[in-house]
Structure 1
Amino acid sequence: MSVETGLRGGGKLNSHLAKLKRDRERKVAAKPKTLGAVAEGPTITYPAGTSFPKDLPPRKGGVPLFLAEKMRLFQSASPIPIHLKGGPTDKVLFASTVVLCAIGLTGCLSFFYDMSFTKKADD
């Protein structure tokens, strides 16, 4: 006894199975008309009450004063490079970065030199 013959008496279930079968056939038959056709994406549904930034009212207060001063400092046109505009602290940090890079590069080169030549065994 198959599933379909066993369910013939249950009208709602039988109609539901027929609907599922039709839906399955439609999905198989739906093919793009051309190879480069753009497929439709799924629709996105958001729950009620979802707010998006473009819909929200603007915040009061604007930019904090200390941040506005920094923005003016770094966006002003001057011959000083951007990585040194912060003053003496930036100069010290930049110099220490250059020194550490030089030490690292020297260490790498000495390692490469040592590994390039075999050491003579002292017998």
Structure 2
Amino acid sequence: MYRQLMGLQQLSRRTITSSARRQIDNSVKEKQKLFQEDSGMPIHLKGGTRDALLYRATMTLTVFGFGYVVFELFSAAMPKKAQ
């Protein structure tokens, strides 16, 4: 039983350490070039369509959230009518 556990331990260690890692390209230089160029575009929109959608969604949620807070404050400030 001990030999089987040691064999299993060796096998698991060998497959984990010798497995081929996925190569990831370093794209930092391209991103730096993109974000540092002077194109007249705001920095928060230079990332493309995804950044534009994220910006618009954030602004929409902010405006609706502000409106909801004002509505709730107004409704809390007004006295309730007794029936």
**Larger-Rg structure:** 1
Please give the root-mean-square deviation of Cα atoms over the aligned residues, in Å: 1.1
Identity, % of aligned positions? 36
Q: Which residue of 2 aligns with 1:86?
A: 47
CA distances 1:27-71 after superposition (whole Å, capped 9, x unpaired): xxxxxxxxxxxxxxxxxxxxxxxxxxxxxxxxxxxxx74100000
Structure number with higher relative contact order (C-alpha < 8 Å, ≥ 6 residues apart): 2
* 1:114 alignment partner in structure 2: 75
Number of matched pairs: 59
Match for residue 105 of structure 1? 66
Q: What TM-score comes out, normalization by structure 1 length?
A: 0.46
Corresponding position of 2:8:
none
TM-score after normalising by structure 2: 0.67
2:40 paired with 1:76: no
Query: Any residues of structure 2 matched to 1:1-123 within 5 Å, and which?
Result: 65-122=26-83
The residue number in structure 2 matching 1:26 is none
Structure with greater proportional helix content:
2
Deviation of the 1:75 alpha carbon: 0.5
Query: Which ranges of structure 1 fall in alignment gaps of 5 or more residues?
Result: 1-63
Residue of structure 2 equivalent to 1:41: none
